[in-house]
Structure 1
Amino acid sequence: MRLLPAMVVALMLAACAGPQGGPRNRPLAANPSGFIAAEIAFARLAQEKGQWTAFRETAHPDAVMFVPERVRARDWLKAQTDPAEAVKWQPHAVYVSCDGNAAATTGAWQKGTANGYFTTVWLRDPRSGKTEWILDHGDGLASPRPAPEFIASKQAACGSRPAVPIEAGGEGEDMAVGLAPDQTLSWTSTVRADRSRRVTVRLWDGKDMAVVIDDRVAAPKQP
């Protein structure tokens, strides 16, 4: 696992911005810091142009969100108006596939006096370098996640290709499994009948698909 100083990442983002369309459209190769730059640019766009505008402009055609049911992001976002105050967020860690074409970022968000965490899954087009999010979710926290001194970074092992895991949801569950093109990073999202959910991200370590993110969101309180 590598550690990226937050200030270095911020400076890298500023250096990358330019006529090519910013870090979301730059070739990343197997570059974990590029996904951190994309997440920072996403957060900055929310402050500059509006929260849901930023989500619309960076969403993959197949992107999903949870409201708390699973929804197709582009369809749901069409009807959303930007709030007066956009949520703010900062990445704390990034997990990247061996080939650098998929990653998951996770970190903290704030809005007014509220705090929480988020996880975003990203896909990069290896031909154009365009990077878009394909899954986004989060939840509130009673206490904010402390900001780390360094942004943690871990890349999947290369060489052998793992077997594709077979998973099935339980009765009444809405379950979906996503897989990086090289099969070294996967993400599973499950929404239960009570609208609780779980998002799990796994990374190939050379022997197993090891769990690196395991987010569990409780069912919403009944009025």
Structure 2
Amino acid sequence: MKPAHTFAATILVGCMLAACAGPSGPRTPRDVIDRALGSAPYAAQPGEIVAREVEYQLAARERGQYTAMLDFAAGDAVVHGRNGPVPARPVFSSLEDPETTIEWSPRTVIMSCDGNLAVSSGRYREPEGFVGTFVTVWERDDRNDDYEWSYDVAGRDDPQPPPEVIDEDAIVVTAIDTIRGLVADCPRAGATVPAPPVIEPAAGASHGQEASPDGTLRWYWEHRADGTRYARGDFYTSGAWDTVIERSFASPPE
């Protein structure tokens, strides 16, 4: 089993969010990830997804929320809305970028052994202050090795947590969130990874799934009759399948 890349991901996020200024001036998230992982022993690096998420958010701030979503989307990307997953490009191409973007941060990233497929999950905050959770699937683009998102689902907390009240005279130091990064075990030479366990969908639910080319990671979505949206990510580790990411979201508000 490969080690979790939690420490490396924490360093990367801290440096990137601080603009990573050095003697030669600011560096981009891509510069940081390349330098930090240049000597890493594994082809699959969850830190690359963390860097991609940061690049994505910076692009949203600079170019607009929906413009960035299109720029970072795979050609067949889908967003899971109130009626199920729908093609993302027709949806976001018809919308005008909002003045203020959503802020988000991944908390968990799981990746296939071959590095071709990853699932991230984390927290977000809307400009109005509403907070919630997201799940995003990332696929490596064979043309340029960049990761593009292919599935996205998100939902607000219900109920919302109470607003944070801070004394105006207080000095607040916010710690950098630790991100858990996990990589699936690579099959031994000549060995075959067993198929993941079958998921029985809820009654009346539409559903779908996809596995990485090497068969070490599987993600699954479900749209239930009551409008609940469900997503999960499983990976192969220590000779068995483990569910790491599992989230349910109520039908989004009008």
TM-score, normalised relative to structure 2? 0.75
SS at match of 1:6: helix
The answer to whether 1:172 aligns with 2:186 is no
SS at match of 1:150: coil
Deviates most, 202-211 or 169-178? 169-178
Determine the C-alpha separation between the residues in 1 that align with 2:226 and 2:180: 34
The answer to whether 1:68 aligns with 2:82 is yes
The question of whether the paired residues in 1 share the 8 Å contact of 2:5 and 2:46 is answered with no
Correspondence for 1:41: 55
The answer to whether 1:152 aligns with 2:202 is no
Seq. identity, % = 30
1:134 is matched with which residue: 122, 143, 150?
150
Against the structure 1 CA distance between its residues 132 and 73, is the aligned structure 2 distance closer, same or farther, given a 3 Å change threshold?
Answer: same
Against the structure 1 CA distance between its residues 192 and 183, is the aligned structure 2 distance closer, same or farther, given a 3 Å change threshold?
Answer: same
Correspondence for 2:135: 119
Name the aligned partner's letter for residue 5 of structure 2.
Answer: R
The answer to whether 1:86 aligns with 2:101 is yes
Name the aligned partner's letter for residue 117 of structure 1.
Answer: T
Correspondence for 1:197: 229
The alpha-carbon deviation at position 75 of structure 1 amounts to 2.2
The question of whether the paired residues in 2 share the 8 Å contact of 1:10 and 1:37 is answered with no
Correspondence for 2:13: 9
Correspondence for 2:68: 54
The alpha-carbon deviation at position 10 of structure 1 amounts to 4.8
Q: What are the Cα deviations for residues 64-103 of structure 1, in whole angstroms up to 9, with x where unaligned?
A: 1122222111222221211121111111221111111111
The alpha-carbon deviation at position 143 of structure 1 amounts to 2.6
The answer to whether 1:143 aligns with 2:171 is no
Determine the C-alpha separation between the residues in 1 that align with 2:238 and 2:12: 29
The question of whether the paired residues in 2 share the 8 Å contact of 1:187 and 1:199 is answered with yes
Determine the C-alpha separation between the residues in 2 that align with 1:103 and 1:120: 8
Deviates most, 61-70 or 48-57? 61-70
The alpha-carbon deviation at position 164 of structure 1 amounts to 5.0
Name the aligned partner's letter for residue 220 of structure 2.
Answer: T
TM-score, normalised relative to structure 1? 0.84
Which ranges in structure 1 are unaligned for 5 or more consecutive residues? none
Determine the C-alpha separation between the residues in 2 that align with 1:193 and 1:203: 27
Determine the C-alpha separation between the residues in 2 that align with 1:220 and 1:30: 34
Against the structure 1 CA distance between its residues 205 and 17, is the aligned structure 2 distance closer, same or farther, given a 3 Å change threshold?
Answer: closer
Determine the C-alpha separation between the residues in 1 that align with 2:53 and 2:217: 18
Name the aligned partner's letter for residue 196 of structure 1.
Answer: T
The question of whether the paired residues in 2 share the 8 Å contact of 1:89 and 1:107 is answered with yes
Name the aligned partner's letter for residue 153 of structure 1.
Answer: G
The alpha-carbon deviation at position 125 of structure 1 amounts to 2.8
Q: What are the Cα deviations for residues 127-157 of structure 1, in whole angstroms up to 9, with x where unaligned?
A: 531210011111112239x976321111101
Deviates most, 148-157 or 99-108? 148-157
Determine the C-alpha separation between the residues in 2 that align with 1:120 and 1:86: 17
Name the aligned partner's letter for residue 15 of structure 2.
Answer: L
Determine the C-alpha separation between the residues in 1 that align with 2:48 and 2:206: 32
Name the aligned partner's letter for residue 143 of structure 1.
Answer: P
Determine the C-alpha separation between the residues in 2 that align with 1:79 and 1:149: 35
Q: Which has the larger radius of gyration?
A: 2
